[in-house]
Amino acid sequence: MTGPRASAAPRLPDAAKRWLEDGTYVTVGTIGPDNRPHLSVVWATYDGDDVLFSTLTGRRKYRNLETNPNVSLLWFPRDDPLSYVEVRGTATTTTEGAVELVERLARTYVGRPYREVPGNVVRVTVRVRPAAVVFRTP
Mean pLDDT in consecutive groups of 10 residues from the start of the chain, 138 residues: 56 96 97 96 98 95 97 96 96 95 95 78 95 94
* pLDDT (0 to 100) of residue 117: 66
Supply the DSSP symbol for 22: T
Q: Are 137 and 51 in contact (CB under 8 A)?
A: no
- Closest by Cα among 65, 97, 81, 63 to 137: 81
25 CB burial (10 A radius; 0-12, 13-18, 19+): middle
Domain residue spans in the chain?
Answer: 14-136
Q: Are 106 and 75 in contact (CB under 8 A)?
A: no
Neighbours of 122 (CB within 10 A): 11
* Phi, psi at 20, each rounded to 5°: -70, -40
- CATH topology for 14-136 is Pnp Oxidase; Chain A (2.30.110)
* pLDDT (0 to 100) of residue 5: 44
